[in-house]
Structure 1
Amino acid sequence: MGGALSTVNACVCGRGLVTINQKRYLHQDNIGEGGFSYVDLIEDAKSGTFFALKRIICHDKKAENEALEEVEYCRMFHHENIIPLVDHCIKNKGRLTEVWLVLPYYKRGTLYDEYQRLATKNEKIPKDRVLSLFLGSCKGVEAFHNHQPEALAHRDIKPGNVLITNEDVPVLMDLGSVAPARVTIRNAKEAQALQDLAAERCTMPFRAPELFQVPLHCIIDEKVDIWSLGCILFSLMYLEGPFDQVWLKKDSVALAVQNRNLPFPQTDLYPATYRNLVRRLMDVEPATRPNISWVIEHVEALINDNT
């Protein structure tokens, strides 16, 4: 670990043995993959502790620099609700490089995994747990938004990016989308650049409306995360995001988002205050969405009302 990233001792040396910065791990399984990354389950050869190894495949220097930004954002935060970095290195593979991140392993997986388990048993999340999981997610977002000297935004908050610890604490992961929160859009070229970046890094059913069609002469800010948190709260209640079905049917998610078509069921286990909070967070106009401090205060008040 330590300051600068290095290329030392990042190799697979023999059957199932992975060495990272003089530390040996046993490769156990492949547990996930994304566009240009793979996640392996590895075990510390000495202690027997399990970790997740995220390997980001970089086809050019730009991709490598972006991967190193994710490393730096992971190093930056020491917060209960944000995934910490255990170790890191760069592996050279001919024309390609791989940036490796050693991360804690959470055997319960993500909120998305939890939804699948509950849906199979036809169960819902109790209302108190909905608020507890949501509050923890909000506190992770708060750390990004209150970062100094510059506010940050996660920009890809979704159930698949929220891990659950054994103590039922939510942990935000996948910091590859994190960036300075406030972006000034002065012309069409800048608007298109941010729109293209959002299409690449921000999952469509959880993407804020201002990222689908970036307006000219505006400032895009951390309110994009507030919209996504509204989607998270909806998903905690109904085990899927408000626009998941639109996306699965291959209808226009952008149109559904702009129209804010929130498919609340006619009969509901949850209080109206929960649905009202979803609507408040998912205001189509970013300027009228609340900030993260308001959201946390409001959720804490709801928790107190439930006790």
Structure 2
Amino acid sequence: MFVAILLGLCMAQGYRCARCKAQNPDLEEPLDDQNLMAPKMCLRDLIYNLNSSGSGSAGLPLLVQRTIARSIILQEIIGKGSFGEVWRGVWNGQDVAVKMFSSRDEWSWFREVEIYQTVMLRHENILGFIAADNKDNGSWTQLWLVSEYHEHGSLFDYLNRHTVSMEATLVLALSVASGLAHLHMEIIGTQGKPAIAHRDLKTKNILVKKNGSAVIADLGLAVKHDSIANTIDIPSNHRVGTKRYMAPEILDDSINVSNFESYKRADIYSLGLVFWELVRRCSLGGSCEDYQLPYYDMAGSDPSVEEMRKVVCDQQARPSIPNQWHNWEALRILGRTMRECWNANPAARLTALRVKKTITQVTVVKTN
């Protein structure tokens, strides 16, 4: 049934795929019609059509996902993590990213797929989910999560390799804030979206798009809030994520685990650190700071919870904001925003929406 629907959509959208090819002239010719997917199919248009059908789902039908996943040709490893590996693959002449989980990390795979398929999650600043599948050859099982591919890699990698202009800095900052604001936002309605907290926001979990904006990725630790029942689908261990980016209330165990706002506020603390990493690489008058991780001068390369607690909670230290940032209005405002994001009092921190509005105003002033 799904294949029939899919083929019908393909026939009806010839002009859309032609446009996709025109906008992406570097795409290879798609596979021939012996493939289970229709010829000249564009992933972007396929996802657009099926997600505009009124179902409200953020994912393609399961049979379509499996068909796509099993037609991918793997090309090269582009990353590794505790979960497994990330590959660049090709489907129908289009690059995709394939995140492979080992069978022992089945829960992590299932959780991330579940979050990515949340109704109305799809957003230009959240990594585009394409498909999920499991591969079993009888002796081992591979769990795949297929997503859009972004050749620039993570923001961490990008900032290590490049300096960024003032305009590029604002574009990146605004897109990260926009993605986080969408995650945090609850959309009321029969096909509404629950509020979601990321819980591991950092430059390694943000990808840079070809157009210079960014998308938030790696949602395996995210939690959703059921506002009607006022419940949070979170495991008993709330201290997860990357220690360097953990908010003080997580480090000292004072977080109110029964209040969903607590998790959103912890994300905002991490957002302030991401902004600090970004602005350090902003080229000002032909010069900029070397890339560094937050607290590089106060904690080791792989700090423990105890080490970070001493720095962040006991000493109440925060990354230093250079005086020269005050010479540029945009950076002065970004610096102030960082301080409000990493305030020791969680309730005093900005919301993601407020951060987004502030940067939007700065961007408008800068471009006028």
Structure 2: gaps of 5 or more residues? 1-58, 188-192, 228-233, 281-290
**Letter of the aligned partner of 1:109 in structure 2?**
G
Q: 2: CA distance between counterparts of 1:5 and 1:210? A: 43
Give the 3 Å change call, closer, same or farther, for CA 39–103 of structure 1 in structure 2. Answer: same
**Letter of the aligned partner of 1:29 in structure 2?**
E
Structure 2 residue 292 is the aligned partner of structure 1 residue 240: yes
Please list, as runs of the form range in 1=range in 2, the aligned pairs for 1:132-143 lying within 5 A after superposition.
Answer: 132-143=171-182
Structure 2 residue 145 is the aligned partner of structure 1 residue 101: yes
Please state whether the residue corresponding to 1:253 is helix, strand or coil. helix
Q: 1: CA distance between counterparts of 2:76 and 2:214? A: 24
Please list, as runs of the form range in 1=range in 2, the aligned pairs for 1:172-211 lying within 5 A after superposition.
Answer: 172-180=216-224, 193-195=237-239, 198=240, 202-211=241-250
- Determine which structure has the larger strand proportion and give its number: 1
Structure 2 residue 107 is the aligned partner of structure 1 residue 65: yes
Equivalent of 2:159 in 111, 115, 126 = 115
- 2:69 aligns with 20
Equivalent of 2:345 in 285, 292, 297 = 285
Percent identity, aligned pairs only, is: 24
Structure 1: gaps of 5 or more residues? 10-18, 119-123, 184-189
Please list, as runs of the form range in 1=range in 2, the aligned pairs for 1:1-307 lying within 5 A after superposition.
Answer: 2-4=60-62, 20-21=69-70, 23=71, 25-44=72-91, 47-59=92-104, 63-76=105-118, 77-92=121-136, 97-118=141-162, 124-148=163-187, 150-180=194-224, 193-195=237-239, 198=240, 202-215=241-254, 219=259, 220-238=262-280, 239-248=291-300, 252-258=307-313, 259-268=316-325, 270=328, 271-307=331-367
Please state whether the residue corresponding to 1:222 is helix, strand or coil. helix
Deviation at 1:231, TM superposition (A): 0.7
The question of whether the paired residues in 1 share the 8 Å contact of 2:86 and 2:99 is answered with: yes
The question of whether the paired residues in 2 share the 8 Å contact of 1:83 and 1:104 is answered with: yes
Give the 3 Å change call, closer, same or farther, for CA 229–28 of structure 1 in structure 2. Answer: same
Deviation at 1:282, TM superposition (A): 0.7
Cα distance per residue 1:209-253 (max 9 Å; x no partner): 111122276633311111111011101111434223434356622
Cα distance per residue 1:148-191 (max 9 Å; x no partner): 453210111111111111111201111112112699xxxxxx99
The question of whether the paired residues in 2 share the 8 Å contact of 1:51 and 1:102 is answered with: yes
Q: 2: CA distance between counterparts of 1:231 and 1:203? A: 12
The TM-score, its normalising length taken from structure 1, stands at 0.79
Deviation at 1:293, TM superposition (A): 1.6
**Letter of the aligned partner of 2:80 in structure 1?**
E
The question of whether the paired residues in 2 share the 8 Å contact of 1:191 and 1:216 is answered with: no
Q: 2: CA distance between counterparts of 1:294 and 1:7? A: 36
Which segment drifts farther, 156-165 or 206-215?
Answer: 206-215
| Matched positions, count | 275
Give the 3 Å change call, closer, same or farther, for CA 96–178 of structure 1 in structure 2. Answer: farther
Deviation at 1:34, TM superposition (A): 0.6
The question of whether the paired residues in 2 share the 8 Å contact of 1:135 and 1:299 is answered with: yes
Give the 3 Å change call, closer, same or farther, for CA 181–222 of structure 1 in structure 2. Answer: farther
**Letter of the aligned partner of 1:261 in structure 2?**
R
